[in-house]
Amino acid sequence: MKAFVIHRYGKNEVGQIADMPEPALRDDDVLVQIHAASVNVLDIRIRSGALKPILRYRLPLILGNDMAGTVVRVGPRVRRFHPGDAVYARPDQERIGTFAQFIAVREDDVAPKPRNLSMAQAASIPLVGLTAWQALVEIAQLKAGQKVFIHAGSGGVGTIAIQLARHLGAHVATTTSTANVDAVKALGADVVIDYKQQAFETVLRDYDVVLHSLGKDELEKSLQVLKPGGQLISISGPPTADMADQLRLSWPIRQVLRLLSHGIRTKARQRGIRYAFLFMTANGGQLRDITALIEAGAIKPVVDRVFPLDVAADALAYVATGRAKGKVVITVP
């Protein structure tokens, strides 16, 4: 099968199209013919080698962390899916590889594709949708009337998180550039801060939850907008020792992660704030819940550009600029 692979890690690694063997099917797997996959910042971090100590993949590696497609074969223990079903998924982090014509995914990680979305639109959802769900529903347990601040509202996670928070009845604030102010307001943000004109920490006060996805400066400034008892949830770090437990990493790596997050955890604790790092996981059940919201019209995908598989490197390069509005999708022949 055709796939987009990397043969080494590094900031200068680009990747290329190659012929790769079709994935083996385990007893509880579905084999999916991929119609579309989306590009995530996670793909760029994996390619650079930034996550090599944590996610140990065998090279050559097929990139890609979510997809939509059609089931072509199922393992003998699969009960919920059949050949011909339209599905979407974020595969388990140990079995990524959606920039390809086929992938084998655990049945529990797959959900029916939303009926009102195209394959390209559906492919844009799984990773960012699950990230928003696990941050706002699972960790924050966000409730109606609470106030949530979502960094980078026009990004992949931001566009979905704003809509989910609004559906949950929360008051939503976000940041974006001047050109995207109207777009994030249309998604449901109550307060939109143009970061080129204002500093969010001087505007926002007494928030219950912050969903952070940027750098260290924004992370520490986020503490200033939270009230005591609030929650600071980061998807960009620093990770905590809980992540080591989640990924069953070694004791030395656990201690490294504990040290990396010591500063922000201490500052948060001094303010009576809880800090959590989210490394999202595959979850077909949660994707089904997201599907229901999409089909009800509560969440709509935001797709910026679509690239064919043979120029996947261009799609990654565009996402790396940080200028994408919503998601970038790769279509697979």
Per-residue pLDDT reduced to its tens digit, 73-86: 999 999 999 999 99
For the segment 4-21, what is each residue's pLDDT rounded down to a tens digit?
999 999 999 999 999 999
Is the distance from CB of 101 to CB of 33 less than 8 angstroms? yes
Q: Average pLDDT for residues 240-260, to the nearest whole number?
A: 83
256 confidence band (pLDDT: 50, 70, 90): confident
| C-alpha–C-alpha distance, residues 59 and 123, integer Å | 25
164 confidence band (pLDDT: 50, 70, 90): very high
Is the distance from CB of 15 to CB of 6 less than 8 angstroms? yes
Q: For position 261, what pLDDT does the model report?
A: 92
For the segment 51-80, what is each residue's pLDDT rounded down to a tens digit?
988 888 999 999 999 999 999 999 999 999
243 confidence band (pLDDT: 50, 70, 90): confident
Q: For position 254, what pLDDT does the model report?
A: 84
Residue 11 backbone dihedrals phi, psi, to 5 degrees: -65, -25
Residues in CB range of 198: below 8 A, 6 or more apart: none
| C-alpha–C-alpha distance, residues 52 and 259, integer Å | 18
| C-alpha–C-alpha distance, residues 217 and 195, integer Å | 13
148 confidence band (pLDDT: 50, 70, 90): very high
Q: Is pLDDT above 80 for 244?
A: no
241 confidence band (pLDDT: 50, 70, 90): confident
Query: 10 Å Cβ neighbour count for 206?
Result: 10
Residues, the chain, total?
333
Q: Is pLDDT above 90 for 115?
A: yes
Q: For position 53, what pLDDT does the model report?
A: 85
Is the distance from CB of 326 to CB of 299 less than 8 angstroms? no
Q: Average pLDDT for residues 149-159, to the nearest whole number?
A: 98
Domains of the chain, CATH where assigned: 2-125+301-331 (3.90.180.10), 127-277 (3.40.50.720)
Rounded to two decimals, what is the model's pTM? 0.97
For the segment 192-233, what is each residue's pLDDT rounded down to a tens digit?
999 999 999 999 999 999 999 999 999 999 999 999 999 999
